[in-house]
Amino acid sequence: MLIENPILPGFHPDPSLMRVDDGFYVASSTFEWFPGVQVHHSRDLVNWRLLPHPLTRRSQLDLAGNAPSKGVWAPCLSYCEGIFYLVYTNVRSMQSGFFDGHNYLVTASDITGPWSEPAALNSSGFDPSLFHDDDGRKWLLNMLWDHRPGRPKFGGIVLQEYSADRRRLVGEARVIFKGTELGATEGPHLYKHDGMYYLMVAEGGTGYGHAVTVARSRELTGPYEPDPDGPMLTSRNNPDLPLQKAGHASLTDTPGGEWYLAHLTGRPIMPQRRCPLGRETAIQKVKWDEKGWLRLENGGREPRLQVQAPQLPLHPFPPLPARDDFDKPELPTHFSTLRVPVDENWLSLTERPGYLRLRGRESLSSAFHQSLVARRVQAFRFRATTCMDFAPLNARQTAGLVCLYDTENWFYLNVTHDEKIGVCLVILRCNNGACDAPLQAPEPLTTGRSVRLRAGVDRCTLRFSFSPDGKNWDIIGPPFDFSTLSDEACRTGVFTGAFVGLCAQDLLGDRLHADFDFFEYDDNNGLPR
């Protein structure tokens, strides 16, 4: 049996992989999207399911006002003596060379929660990781940010003891590793194997120069000797590899003693060399060589699309339904909102049973109070469809279907009101903050307040269409370049990926609502026919 990479397609970066008994778990970054931190579960490393998010309350994670690609960076999941530990960074700003971000820890006795209120750790850098030594002591690692002009911003990996009783860091913080010539040393994870401490870090930046470096020491505090063969995993030297950006890795074993490495990756669309699906999670089988260094099972240092699965029984999970009919009182787990948690003040699944009601709030450019629900795009070819009831009375009232990367980059098929023709369909496009309306004229809607909207994508091409009845569909607007919704094309957000979802705005402040009957996301279809 083979594992097909990526194991978590779409925006799932910075994987933290761990095992508890016969269960495997991966935590990944969510940045400005709420709830915070995605956690996936597997019993075979082949099949994965999304669990409830750990950070569901604003008291655990306040993202309001965070710029694109700030927020939750590189969470680390660990387990010790019946308790799950999760450490994470909330990055607020990195303007003018300064770093305003804070590291926190939450705990739970069950992976599905409830998770505790956060304990504040430090604010010295990002990518925190908690190591549980076999003597019972716990240690926090993170990269150290140096804001001083003329100095390298990446100041090395810092280590400090954590007191579980006091829920705070204690003792001296010391830099234990400065990195290699690749630079940008971050994403630390510490392991103990055969009496040696192994420090795994990401280097070379999180783009196409990304790499995984391993260093080791007989003492916890170092000195750490880097692997003399250089990075043990990277795509940096082969632009033809289907899995690029390989880096930011974490390690676990199986009950049978096999070893696997989860790592960040990206799959670029060529020739644009853009990754609209964002940074994804892949896995590689690894081994320890005769000198005690970590190596890919099949040799070399380049990631593979297919990897030998462990000797474990297959454990598939029921697939997610393509269609959500909004007939339950809570949103499905795979939906996210921007920066703020779901609140009955702006989102309801009960006011009109069988519908998702969104009350219009701020614009798609807002970093505060948007009424938006979306899911990750997880395939190069997909189709998203909804049916919406909406009766705008003003051009400042809009609602519809959106494909977006961040507050500066999106394509929006929406219903609004025009002073001359009444209720109509409009397309708005925003490219790095420059917005325009590609239609020559609004499309009148004369069949009542209900309309079906669809976005179809085939790799780089996005087309919108609409229908009054779900049977007869009309394409609206020109083809759009979907690949612009990517790290490589966006000027502000550089760490997330494309989403597709539903939203409503009311710039009058009257909070006019839009009702959505269903949302369907189908990876087996693409452009509208």
Q: What is the pTM of this model?
A: 0.96
Gap between the Cα atoms of 391 and 450, Å rounded: 9
Window from 227-231, 246-250, 446-450 with minimum mean pLDDT: 446-450
Would you say 103 and 87 are in contact if contact means Cβ atoms under 8 Å apart?
A: yes
DSSP reduced 3-state for 16: strand
Q: What is the pLDDT of residue 525?
A: 66
Where, residue-wise, is CATH 2.60.120.200 in the chain? 323-522
Q: What is the DSSP string of 73-134?
A: EEEEEEEETTEEEEEEEEEEE-GGG--EEEEEEEEESSTTSPPPPPEEEE-S-S--EEEE-T
Average pLDDT rounded to a whole number, residues 248-276? 97
Residue 239: cis peptide before it, omega within 30 degrees of 0: no
Burial classification of residue 305, based on how many CB atoms lie within 10 Å of its CB (0-12 exposed, 13-18 middle, 19 or more buried): middle
Closest CA to 397 of 513, 529, 498, 253: 513
pLDDT for 269 beyond 50: yes
Count CB atoms within 10 A of the CB of residue 228: 7
Neighbouring residues of 229: CB distance < 8 A, sequence distance ≥ 6: 293
Gap between the Cα atoms of 128 and 86, Å rounded: 9
The single residue listed with the structure tokens 């935590």 is: 27
Q: Is the dihedral of CA 358, 30, 488, 375 positive or negative?
A: negative
Would you say 148 and 138 are in contact if contact means Cβ atoms under 8 Å apart?
A: no
Q: What is the pLDDT of residue 186?
A: 98
- Long-range contacts from 464-473, C-beta under 8 angstroms, 24+ separation: 464/401, 464/411, 464/413, 464/427, 464/528, 465/528, 466/413, 466/425, 470/387, 473/528, 473/529
Give counts: helices (H), strands (E), the chain.
0, 40
Q: Domain 2-308 class? A: mainly beta
Percent of the chain surpassing pLDDT 70:
99
Residue 271: cis peptide before it, omega within 30 degrees of 0: yes
Where, residue-wise, is CATH 2.115.10.20 in the chain? 2-308
pLDDT digits (tens, 9 = 90+) for 343-352: 999 999 999 9
The active-site residue out of 127, 186, 280, 406 is 186
Amino acid at 275: C
pLDDT for 444 beyond 80: yes
Residue 13 CB-half CA count within 13 A: 32
Q: What is the DSSP string of 178-240?
A: ---TT---EEEEEEEETTEEEEEEEES-SSTT-EEEEEEESSTT-PPEEPTT--SEE-TT-TT
Percent of the chain surpassing pLDDT 90:
96
Closest CA to 347 of 356, 338, 336, 339: 356
Count CB atoms within 10 A of the CB of residue 528: 18
pLDDT digits (tens, 9 = 90+) for 44-95: 999 999 999 999 999 999 999 999 999 999 999 999 999 999 999 999 999 8
Neighbouring residues of 228: CB distance < 8 A, sequence distance ≥ 6: none
pLDDT digits (tens, 9 = 90+) for 222-238: 999 999 999 999 999 99
- Give the 3-state secondary structure of 292-352: CCEEECCCCCCCCCEEECCCCCCCCCCCCCCEECCCCCCCCCCEEEECCCCCCCCEECCCC
Average pLDDT rounded to a whole number, residues 243-253? 98
pLDDT for 526 beyond 60: no
DSSP letter at 274 equals B
Q: Are strands 49-50 and 356-359 parallel, antiparallel or unpaired?
A: unpaired
pLDDT digits (tens, 9 = 90+) for 12-38: 999 999 999 999 999 999 999 999 999
pLDDT for 528 beyond 60: no
The single residue listed with the structure tokens 């994987």 is: 15
Which uninterrupted H or E stretch holds 250? Answer: strand 244-253
pLDDT for 157 beyond 80: yes
Q: How confident is the model at residue 529 (pLDDT cuts 50, 70, 90)?
A: very low
Gap between the Cα atoms of 249 and 400, Å rounded: 38
**Active site annotation includes 488:** no
C-alpha angle 69-8-497 in degrees, rounded to nearest 5:
25
Average pLDDT rounded to a whole number, residues 462-485? 95
The active-site residue out of 14, 127, 406, 487 is 14
pLDDT digits (tens, 9 = 90+) for 316-344: 999 999 999 999 999 999 999 999 999 99
**Active site annotation includes 330:** no
The CATH topology of domain 323-522 is: Jelly Rolls (2.60.120)
Query: CA of 475: how far to CAs of 4, 117, 501, in Å?
Result: 35, 49, 19
Would you say 304 and 283 are in contact if contact means Cβ atoms under 8 Å apart?
A: no
Q: What is the pLDDT of residue 470?
A: 87
